[in-house]
Structure 1
Amino acid sequence: MPNAYFVLAEGDTVTLDSDETKHLKVMRANPGDKLIGIDGRGTIYRFVLKELGKSSSSGKIVEREYIERDKKRVTVAVASTKWPRLRILIEKATELGVDRIEVFNSVRSVSRLDESKTAKLLTVAKEAAKQSVNPRVPEVSVLKSFALEGSRNLLLDFGGRAIREMQRDLAEERNLRVIVGPEGGFTQKEIAQLTDRCTSISLGSRTLRVETGVIVILSIINYFLGRI
């Protein structure tokens, strides 16, 4: 169940839509309860629930706090995988504060997505933001291909440079993209297309599930960038 609710703020009032009202009822919230709301764009609201309706609810804002975005941007680009793993990946990446999630189809992807699934992926990100009280929901896209220009691109690869050696190298980067292939690995052709524009990095000798690899690399990058 959520630790925060999505709200629309106007003046000193927040409004919760039908989905959030259902969550309030599941949580057995009552008028007078003190709750937390987020708008997905950086603001956290503390409010008192005033009205619990059938299809919408409202509350009075007690406090609002805008969380400034830091100057850095982290994107994770991941090859499409089976839904249970992809759901966990998006959930955990959101909890870890990633700025953008890009899902693409690789030759060896066991499950393929198209742009029609973007809304489903975004719903997972929104629920994770509520659970973790992350005031910002990451951008989520399903891409036919992704542009590598304008960012420092890190390619997860067993043969890459050990990530533990790269703290000083990455700490000052403003725009990082981590590229994670399918569990069967990229084809040689795909690797050839990526290696000239990416820095290959390794998380060690263990073979990790794709969602585990994303959790590990984002946690390390957050440490390098001073986000934790």
Structure 2
Amino acid sequence: MAKRTQGKPAGLSRERIATAAVDLVDRQGLELFGVRRLASELGVDPMSIYNHIKGKAALLDAVSEAVLTEVSATVAQWPDDWTDIARAMARGYRDMAIRHPRVFPLLATRAQTSAVAFEALERLTAAMRRAEIPDQTIADAPMVLFAFLNGYLLAILSADPEGAGDPATGATPLAFDPARYPTLAALAPRQAGFGSQAEFERMLETVLAGIAAA
């Protein structure tokens, strides 16, 4: 926990608070997260945090924005083609979820209205318009893409809540009794590597192909 001597300025900023909050959630989870606990970590009075971020809901939004900013920062140069933009966005989003498995539920369960979220969607939808995709398909695309990403990533993180599994190989598939579930048992080998990079890429291509064909 950071300690501050009496009379020393806190040196707080929205960015410093958000960074400390992400670190705290990474270590302790959302269930224990609160303004007082964060203030203790920073060595400040809770009211010092409220001077920069107005309340716990806004603080959770700042946490979401901080990890979303990481996604954009991982892409050195955004491509022009909308499918390549979607791939880069999705891969960065998955990597972020694996780095921050305890933060990620915030992104999947709260509306993301930060500038960094809107800028990513603007980049994707503008590229789709340049490709002369029908407007209704463009309007639906972010929901379709992120419904897949959020649902899929929540599922794999629930199976491995610490995010400690190997993202390349994934988890061992379920074993089905072939007498009771013959179809599931026959398909089980094709479900090997649940949560792996290869599975993610395969499912992502299925989603993008569906959007393109709409």
User: Given the two structures, how large is their TM-score scaled by the length of structure 1?
Assistant: 0.25
- Greater strand share, structure number: 1
User: Given the two structures, how large is their TM-score scaled by the length of structure 2?
Assistant: 0.26
- Greater helix share, structure number: 2
